[in-house]
A and B are shown apart, each in its own frame.
Chain A
């Protein structure tokens, strides 16, 4: 035999290497399962603790001093409105920033500094954003302790996530497609608006939703800017039946949000409020999971349509 080893040696070595391969699969699955298992356990635990409180009333009642009559109406409405402001502000700003950095910015030290800072912003503790917002939005700009201030704060918080996600999505558009468009005489803006942006919509929306699902659970910054824990009224609805059909009074309204409500209930000694907290936490978790599910669905839809 002319090979460097006998056939037995070869087989033994191969068996060992294949075992290593299997060991990695087992280890990976184990780690994955324990992570998912923990989350599932947490969710089940919350649902069990809060089981008594689930129901229509819980969603449609304002907070109350009596645990059994307290609901999360003002909390989930507040959270939804804040998320709306956050999305409306963070999406265009984040996408525009990403387009500039990816498609327009020359590669020099200045853009290098900007890029490093954008990445670093994602790691800034959220309480710092809260302090910034308190000084800037609440006092300096005079937006007060309002839905608008909270939405802007969380928009700042998730901006780095959206920028990074959008840049990934833009970069995924093949160079060949850009060249095809440039080759027909398109300007940089036409290439971006007619091709790069439409083809990366899936990735951009995914980034937005991942950012929003980070924002929905943030507590520290909105406590800092002064979210209230007891609100027994709803702001004016943003859409009305009469002309001009939209109003913006809700932006200036005081607010509470899901995490604030949970935090408030959990810090009370009364056991009954603990149940409320568990139920609200389960609903918040479900909202987050639903948002992520939408992100996955969008990504799947766009992948199916555009397959390079």
Chain B
């Protein structure tokens, strides 16, 4: 009986509730995942994920390959809907309107217009630098040349790449270096002023110097936008994030302030992972 009680006290749900309260005290919650399950066909990739994404903070998702962290990230902008035979249950509620991002009644395109994404490999369109950043705006019906130019400049400045490309706006984006391309992709996502910006291992294809620039940028961006980042690199999670969530085998094992996770994790599995015992 006694062990049961202890077990209950350590159940993830309660831990989330504590975290939830802590996060809400410090910041407004921008999104809350509750009882989120996700299936690829019959294969359940996410199991009962409960997580609060605090507004204007950086939340990092860490965990070994195949733990579901990218799958979880891609639920936020409904990328899975592009694939046949995928299914969500539970909710990711976006505040303040309390829209369930994974709800069947919610249009995935509407979700993607509100939530931006930066991918693992820089994937600029083979168009000009300007057109890359302007594309999201054009989709939304912006066509006034000066208005577009202003917004593109603002986005490029926001992504700390304006000085490098201001004279090359009509060059092909494919002529940029890898790190520049990735910052261009960040600018492209920023141009439409998303409410949450998702980063899926944004530096795994970049060299250390380009990585440092992106990390610096993420730290700056958190003042304006809520950030959720998947990373394989634990030092990166420690450097850029305010909160860190550890996932394993499709479940959320532990979430806490980043400093706490990396110094004094409460779960054995988390400790084993961050000390490099597996993954």
B123's contact among A106, A176, A305, by CB below 8 Å, is which? A176
Contact assessment for B125 and A176 in the assembled complex, using a CB-CB cutoff below 8 Å: no
A185 touching B136 in the complex, CB below 8 Å, given contacts A107-B84, A180-B185, A307-B174: yes
Query: Which of B108-116, B153-161, B224-232, B263-271 sits within the interface?
Result: B108-116
A-B contact sample (7 more), CB < 8 A, given A183-B112, A185-B113: A174-B123, A177-B123, A179-B119, A179-B123, A180-B185, A305-B172, A306-B174
Query: What's the Cα separation between A186 and B136 when bound, in Å?
Result: 8
Contact assessment for B189 and A184 in the assembled complex, using a CB-CB cutoff below 8 Å: yes
A180 touching B174 in the complex, CB below 8 Å, given contacts A185-B136, A187-B109, A305-B126: no
When distances are taken between beta carbons in the complex, the residues of chain B under 8 Å from A186 are: 109, 139
Chain B residues engaging chain A, CB cutoff 8 angstroms = 77, 79, 82, 84, 109-110, 112-113, 116-117, 119, 121, 123-126, 135-136, 139-140, 172, 174, 185, 188-189, 192
When distances are taken between beta carbons in the complex, the residues of chain B under 8 Å from A270 are: none
Residue A236 lies at the interface, judged by CB distance under 8 Å to chain B:
no
Residue A181 lies at the interface, judged by CB distance under 8 Å to chain B:
yes
When distances are taken between beta carbons in the complex, the residues of chain B under 8 Å from A181 are: 125, 135
Contact assessment for B174 and A183 in the assembled complex, using a CB-CB cutoff below 8 Å: no
B139's contact among A174, A180, A185, A306, by CB below 8 Å, is which? A185
Cβ contacts A to B, 9 pairs, < 8 Å: A177-B125, A180-B188, A181-B125, A182-B82, A182-B112, A184-B112, A185-B109, A185-B192, A186-B139
Mask for A289-308, Cβ within 8 A of B = 1, else 0? 00000000000000001111
When distances are taken between beta carbons in the complex, the residues of chain A under 8 Å from B125 are: 177, 180-181, 195
Contact assessment for A184 and B136 in the assembled complex, using a CB-CB cutoff below 8 Å: yes
| Closest chain A residue, CB of each to CB of B137 | A184
CB distance from A232 to the nearest CB of B (A): 52
When distances are taken between beta carbons in the complex, the residues of chain B under 8 Å from A45 are: none
Which of B110, B117, B119, B126 has the most chain A CB within a 10 Å cutoff? B126
Query: What's the Cα separation between A177 and B123 when bound, in Å?
Result: 6
Contact assessment for B119 and A182 in the assembled complex, using a CB-CB cutoff below 8 Å: no
B84's contact among A106, A179, A183, A190, by CB below 8 Å, is which? A106
Chain A residues engaging chain B, CB cutoff 8 angstroms = 106-107, 174, 176-187, 190, 194-195, 199, 305-308
Query: What's the Cα separation between A214 and B123 when bound, in Å?
Result: 37
When distances are taken between beta carbons in the complex, the residues of chain A under 8 Å from B84 are: 106-107
CB distance from B78 to the nearest CB of A (A): 9
CB distance from B173 to the nearest CB of A (A): 11
Contact assessment for A184 and B119 in the assembled complex, using a CB-CB cutoff below 8 Å: no
Contact assessment for A183 and B109 in the assembled complex, using a CB-CB cutoff below 8 Å: no
Q: Which 5 A/B pairs are nearest by Cβ-Cβ distance?
A: A185-B113, A176-B123, A184-B136, A183-B117, A185-B112
CB distance from B130 to the nearest CB of A (A): 15
Contact assessment for B126 and A199 in the assembled complex, using a CB-CB cutoff below 8 Å: yes
When distances are taken between beta carbons in the complex, the residues of chain A under 8 Å from B172 are: 305
Query: What's the Cα separation between A195 and B131 when bound, in Å?
Result: 12
A180's contact among B109, B110, B119, B192, by CB below 8 Å, is which? B119
Contact assessment for A194 and B82 in the assembled complex, using a CB-CB cutoff below 8 Å: no
Query: What's the Cα separation between A199 and B117 when bound, in Å?
Result: 22
Contact assessment for B79 and A183 in the assembled complex, using a CB-CB cutoff below 8 Å: yes
CB distance from A291 to the nearest CB of B (A): 27
CB distance from A189 to the nearest CB of B (A): 11
When distances are taken between beta carbons in the complex, the residues of chain A under 8 Å from B123 are: 174, 176-177, 179-180
| Closest chain B residue, CB of each to CB of A184 | B136
Query: What's the Cα separation between A186 and B125 when bound, in Å?
Result: 13
CB distance from B181 to the nearest CB of A (A): 11
Query: What's the Cα separation between A106 and B192 when bound, in Å?
Result: 31
Contact assessment for A183 and B192 in the assembled complex, using a CB-CB cutoff below 8 Å: no
When distances are taken between beta carbons in the complex, the residues of chain B under 8 Å from A306 are: 126, 174
When distances are taken between beta carbons in the complex, the residues of chain B under 8 Å from A180 are: 119, 123-125, 185, 188
CB distance from B140 to the nearest CB of A (A): 8
Query: What's the Cα separation between A176 and B182 when bound, in Å?
Result: 13
When distances are taken between beta carbons in the complex, the residues of chain B under 8 Å from A199 are: 126
When distances are taken between beta carbons in the complex, the residues of chain B under 8 Å from A106 are: 84
Contact assessment for A184 and B126 in the assembled complex, using a CB-CB cutoff below 8 Å: no
CB distance from B107 to the nearest CB of A (A): 10
CB distance from A267 to the nearest CB of B (A): 53
When distances are taken between beta carbons in the complex, the residues of chain A under 8 Å from B126 are: 177, 199, 305-308
Query: What's the Cα separation between A199 and B126 when bound, in Å?
Result: 8
